Amino acid sequence: MERQQELMAEFVAGRHNLFAFIQGLVRNPHDSEDIFQEVWVRFSRALAEGVEILDQAKWCRGTARNLILHFWRDRRKAAVPADEQLLDLVELAFAEQSANQDYWRARQEALAECIQELPERSQGLLRLKYEDGLPAHEVAGKLRQTSAAVLMALSRLRRALRECAEKKLRLQGLSQ
């Protein structure tokens, strides 16, 4: 029962990726939603019947793939003319993205930690440029510096943050 709840929570957490997979191939939001809901129904039924699902994301994509094939066959004039080969390629791309998701999440966390370790002045510069979206010349005006000085400082900060994040990932054994 606990494993079922974990898999259902994993389904909910990964719903955006699954819906993006379906939507990218079906295009129509209403048809995409119908297929997504049918995947959920089949997933829930499989769990209730005790089907062992080792890779939930792959299982759901495979189910969606079959439903999309039926959808295309029922509507020969599909907006996206494709065949099983295209579905295989798209599924492979999503599988690779899913496999890398833990790495990218860890990388984001490492980067956030590195930013917190910066002096307040450097954090302020990053906020102006990336959170507020100000161009370098406006950041320079706010900080009473030249644009060249701001661009150089941003370049150095990006390099330092990359090195810091990579170091943290290496320490976790997650470097690519």
- State pLDDT tens for residues 25-82: 888 889 999 999 999 999 999 988 988 888 888 898 889 988 988 888 777 654 545 5
Alpha-carbon distance values, 138 to 31, 115, 133, 149, 155 (Å): 46, 22, 10, 12, 17
As a whole number of angstroms, the distance between CA 157 and CA 83 comes to: 47
One domain for residues 52 and 14: yes
Domain extent for 124: 103-171
Q: Domain with 126 in it: what CATH number? A: 1.10.10.10
Position 107 pLDDT exceeds 50: yes
Alpha-carbon distance values, 96 to 65, 92, 99 (Å): 16, 6, 5
More confident residue, 29 or 175: 29
3-state secondary structure 115-166: HHHCCHHHHHHHHHHHHCCCCHHHHHHHHCCCHHHHHHHHHHHHHHHHHHHH
Does a structural domain hold residue 97? no
Question: CB neighbours of 157 closer than 8 A, spacing ≥ 6?
Answer: 118, 122, 125, 126
One domain for residues 108 and 76: no
One domain for residues 75 and 19: yes
One domain for residues 156 and 116: yes
> Six-digit token pair at 174?
């997650």
Q: Identify whether the C-beta of residue 21 lies closer than 8 Å to the C-beta of residue 59.
A: no
What pLDDT score was predicted for residue 1?
Answer: 62
Does a structural domain hold residue 92? no
Proportion of the chain above pLDDT 70, given as a percent:
84
Q: Domain with 23 in it: what CATH number? A: 1.10.1740
Q: How many domains does the chain have?
A: 2
Label residue 174 by pLDDT band (50, 70, 90): confident
Q: Identify whether the C-beta of residue 147 lies closer than 8 Å to the C-beta of residue 136.
A: yes
